[in-house]
């Protein structure tokens, strides 16, 4: 890491933000990994939808916790346990404000989006979905918002229904509404599609589902890094996202749930911390949110996630969104303009992702050649095989963007794609 980056690390961006201009070069200094070459080339990291890189403040927060504050939480009477508990709960309040939940008890720490969805499927779902009932999802889901519902439907004899998308990758709203009815017991949908980048009109869809009294779970894994989240404005009943996609560590994520729903749900896992009293005859469960946090949680992860959201708040979510929109628009135009390249996912409202294929060249070959140029992209089905089937492609190349990406990096991607075409000429 350069000495400049070290200085930057000790003074988070938020503390010396002085102009209205979005200074991406300065932001890049906050991320040590961006300054380490790969394959002898400058890293062009365009795989942010898989995971984002971490700013120094997040790395420091985790290290500081282990160096100074480490203890188990909610248990000890001693100094360190109090401090660890305080930091863990402070992170919860940071997340509460990040999603604009009305109460911090509505924020449950999980391992990530996948566990959050499974939690709802196994608790709310098992209690409320029965034989002949229906769970409704969209055709643009990540596997993690399909399989938990499939498991539930198989167990209960319920039916999984799928709202179709159009050729641009936008949800067909009217068709989606027609699939709702008295049997619809839960609707699950992504805020932003991981394979296509489509942003769904969540508030409108929630309104439609609520007319049938169906609660809505929003998979926010790809939205949280890019757009302002307001669960009260969206009206959704559950909202899930992962820490590692918002510049935080892996192994931590959250489930937001409306207090009334969470209170009525049975616990997910049994163990320590989720109880208020245990005898061999009967256990009474702890109050929210601890009812859903059995066992010693990922304390360092929660603190790291809190630091990551503090970092994003310091930059300003609206400013992040505006800057990223500009880079995405530039990338969409540049990639679409290339001969023989087809962009998969051209919905009018998109965030973070340019997925594409090149006529006659397999995405895997494209990925290998781009990698040689130091450009990291994802190739494959992006854990969204039904999306690939919908567009009749075996796989795509996905370039996905974060706050530290630049138009110059888009130019590098375009040059890389030209190189691919030379190799296969």
Provide, rounded to whole angstroms, the least separation between the CB of residue 395 and other proteins.
4
Catalytic: which of 171, 303, 383, 417?
383
Give the C-alpha separation, 3 to 72, whole Å. Answer: 35
Does 379 sit near other proteins (CB under 8 A)? yes
Q: Which of 388, 403, 413, 417 binds other proteins (CB under 8 A)?
A: 388
Of 339-378, binders to other proteins (CB under 8 A) are: 361-365, 368-369, 372
Q: Measure the N-to-C terminal CA separation of the chain; round to a whole number of Å.
A: 39
- Name the residue nearer to other proteins (CB basis): 11 or 423: 423
- Phi then psi for residue 80, to 5 deg, are -65, -40
Q: Of how many residues is the chain composed? A: 425
State the Rg of the chain over Cα: 22
Provide, rounded to whole angstroms, the least separation between the CB of residue 269 and other proteins.
29
Of 29-58, binders to other proteins (CB under 8 A) are: 39-40
Q: Are 381 and 395 in contact (CB under 8 A)?
A: yes
Does 380 sit near other proteins (CB under 8 A)? yes
- Name the residue nearer to other proteins (CB basis): 269 or 389: 389
Q: Calculate the alpha carbon distances from 18 to 23, 314, 319, 323, 405 in Å.
A: 10, 12, 14, 17, 21
- Name the residue nearer to other proteins (CB basis): 66 or 424: 424
Provide, rounded to whole angstroms, the least separation between the CB of residue 370 and other proteins.
11
Task: Give the strands of the sheet with 159-163, arranged side by side.
Answer: 107-110, 253-257, 238-242, 216-219, 184-190, 134-138, 159-163
- Name the residue nearer to other proteins (CB basis): 191 or 421: 421
Provide, rounded to whole angstroms, the least separation between the CB of residue 367 and other proteins.
9
Q: For other proteins, how many residues bind (rule: CB under 8 A)?
A: 19
User: Which residue reads 């138009």 in tokens?
Assistant: 407
Does 395 sit near other proteins (CB under 8 A)? yes
383 is catalytic: yes
Does 398 sit near other proteins (CB under 8 A)? no
C-alpha 421: how far from chain center:
33
- Name the residue nearer to other proteins (CB basis): 327 or 395: 395
**44 strand-pairing partners:** 375
Give the C-alpha separation, 401 to 353, whole Å. Answer: 6
Provide, rounded to whole angstroms, the least separation between the CB of residue 44 and other proteins.
16
Give the C-alpha separation, 225 to 239, whole Å. Answer: 14
Which residues lie near other proteins (CB under 8 A)?
Answer: 39-40, 361-365, 368-369, 372, 379-381, 388, 393-395, 423-424
Kindly list the catalytic residues.
383
């Amino acid at each position: 890491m350069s000495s400049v980056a070290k200085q930057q690390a000790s003074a988070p961006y938020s503390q010396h933000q002085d102009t209205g201009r979005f200074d991406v070069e300065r932001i890049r200094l906050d991320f040590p990994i961006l300054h380490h070459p790969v394959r002898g080339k400058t890293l062009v990291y365009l795989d942010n939808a898989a995971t984002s890189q971490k700013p120094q403040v997040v790395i420091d927060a985790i290290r500081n916790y282990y160096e100074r504050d480490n203890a188990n939480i909610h248990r000890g009477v001693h100094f360190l346990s109090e401090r660890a508990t305080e930091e863990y709960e402070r992170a919860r309040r940071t997340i509460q404000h990040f999603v604009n939940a009305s109460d911090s008890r509505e924020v449950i720490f999980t391992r990530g989006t996948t566990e959050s969805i499974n939690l709802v499927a196994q608790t709310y779902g098992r209690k409320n979905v029965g034989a002949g009932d229906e769970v409704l999802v969209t055709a643009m889901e990540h596997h993690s918002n399909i399989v938990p519902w499939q498991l539930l439907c198989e167990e209960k004899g319920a039916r999984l229904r799928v709202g179709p998308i159009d050729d641009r990758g936008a949800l067909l709203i009217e068709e989606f509404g027609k699939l709702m009815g008295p049997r619809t017991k839960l609707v699950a949908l992504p805020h932003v599609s991981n394979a296509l980048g489509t942003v769904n009109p969540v508030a409108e869809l929630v309104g439609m589902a609520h007319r049938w009294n169906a609660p809505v779970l929003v998979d926010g894994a790809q939205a949280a890094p890019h757009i302002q989240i307001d669960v009260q404005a969206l009206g959704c009943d559950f909202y899930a996202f992962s820490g590692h996609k918002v510049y935080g560590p892996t192994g931590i994520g959250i489930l937001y749930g409306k207090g009334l729903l969470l209170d009525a749900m049975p616990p997910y896992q049994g163990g320590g911390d989720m109880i208020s009293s245990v005898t061999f005859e009967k256990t009474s469960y702890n109050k929210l949110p601890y009812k859903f946090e059995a066992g010693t949680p990922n304390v360092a992860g929660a603190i790291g996630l809190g630091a990551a959201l503090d970092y994003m708040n310091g930059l300003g979510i609206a400013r992040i969104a505006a800057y990223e929109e500009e880079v995405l628009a530039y990338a969409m135009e540049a990639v679409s303009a290339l001969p023989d390249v087809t962009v998969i996912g051209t919905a009018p409202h998109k965030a973070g992702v340019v997925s594409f294929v090149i006529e006659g060249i397999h995405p895997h070959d494209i990925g290998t050649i781009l990698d040689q140029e130091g450009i990291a992209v994802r190739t494959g089905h992006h854990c969204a095989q039904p999306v690939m089937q919908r567009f009749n492609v075996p796989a795509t190349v996905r370039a996905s963007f974060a706050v530290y990406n630049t138009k110059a990096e888009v130019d590098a991607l375009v040059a890389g794609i030209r190189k691919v075409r030379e190799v296969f000429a």
